[in-house]
Amino acid sequence: MISLNKESYMFHVPNIEITELQANAIGLPLIQKRTKGEKEEELLDLKEAIEHAKVKYYIKGVVTGAIRSVYQASRIQRVCNELGLWCFNPLWLNDEIEVLQEVVEKGFKVLISGVFAYPLERKHLGLIMDKDIITELSLLHKKYNLNPAGEGGELETTVLDAPFFKKTIEVIDYVIHYRDHSGVFEIKEARFVDK
C-alpha cells in the first residue's frame, strides 16, 4: 500500500517505493495500490489489494509483522475474515527487544528510516540496527515507554538485506528531513549489490 498520507494510521510510509526492490531481491511478485490514507477508509483499498492477490495468485492467507499494534492487527484480521483468508501474526505479543535481537543475529540489514517521537533524534536516521542501537532503544523504552520496535509509530525501518534476499539493496543517494524529533531518511536512489 502506498499511502498519500504521510501520517497513515495503517501503513508504512518512509521509503515505501523500496518495496519493489525488496520484492525483486526476494523473488516474489508485488501488488502495489495507492491509498489516500484516510483513517478506516484506507482499509477498503487494502481489501481490494488483498482480494486482487487472492484472485491472481490464489493466496490462502496473509502474514503480518505485528507485534503489539492491536490497531493494525485487528484491521488486517477483519479484512482477511471478510475475504475468507487466514491471518497469521507470528510475532504477536513477542518481546520487542528479543525480536530486534533476532533480526540482527539472523543477518538482516535494517535501516532506521523514520523517527517520530522524543527523544529520538536526527542522529538515529540512517543508522543500521545493531546491538548498540537495540540497547539504546531498550533504555528509551524503560525511561520514556517508547516502543523499541516502533509499534506505536515512534520509528520506522527499511530492510536492505535479509537471509532470503538474493541481492543486497545499497543506498546510493538520500536526503534527511528532520524537525522537532520527527524526521525521515528518504532514499533517493538505491541499487542491487551481489552478496
Confidence of residue 167 (pLDDT cuts 50, 70, 90): very high
Domain match, 29 and 71 both: yes
Q: What is the pLDDT of residue 9?
A: 76
Express as a percent the part of the chain with pLDDT over 90: 88
109-115: strand order across its sheet: 155-161, 109-115, 182-194, 167-179
The whole-angstrom separation of Cα 145 and Cα 17 is 30
The whole-angstrom separation of Cα 33 and Cα 91 is 25
Domain match, 119 and 60 both: no
Domain match, 44 and 73 both: yes
Confidence of residue 189 (pLDDT cuts 50, 70, 90): very high
CB 64 within 8 A of CB 74: no
Domain match, 5 and 15 both: yes
Taking only the tens place, the pLDDT of each residue in 27-69 is: 999 999 999 988 888 999 999 999 999 999 999 999 999 999 8
Element (DSSP H or E) covering residue 164: none
Reported pTM: 0.93
Confidence check: pLDDT of 72 > 80: yes
The whole-angstrom separation of Cα 152 and Cα 120 is 13
Return mean pLDDT, the chain. 95
Q: What is the pLDDT of residue 7?
A: 82
CB 35 within 8 A of CB 97: no
Bridge partners (DSSP) listed for residue 191:
170
Domain match, 37 and 112 both: no
The sign of the torsion formed by the CA atoms of 40, 42, 44, 46 equals negative
Where residue 73 sits, what CATH number does that domain have? Answer: 3.40.50.620
Confidence check: pLDDT of 102 > 80: yes
Domain match, 102 and 191 both: yes
Mean pLDDT of 67-95: 95
Of 60, 75, 94, which residue is a domain's last? 94
Q: What is the pLDDT of residue 31?
A: 96
* Residues of the domain holding 110: 95-195
Domain count, the chain: 2
Domain match, 129 and 36 both: no
Domain match, 6 and 89 both: yes
Listed range (66-75, 89-98, 99-108, 133-142) with the worst mean pLDDT: 66-75
CB 151 within 8 A of CB 90: no
Q: What is the pLDDT of residue 40?
A: 84
Domain match, 25 and 67 both: yes
Domain match, 104 and 190 both: yes
Mean pLDDT of 182-186: 97
Domain match, 174 and 107 both: yes
Where residue 128 sits, what CATH number does that domain have? Answer: 3.90.1490.10
Domain match, 84 and 99 both: no
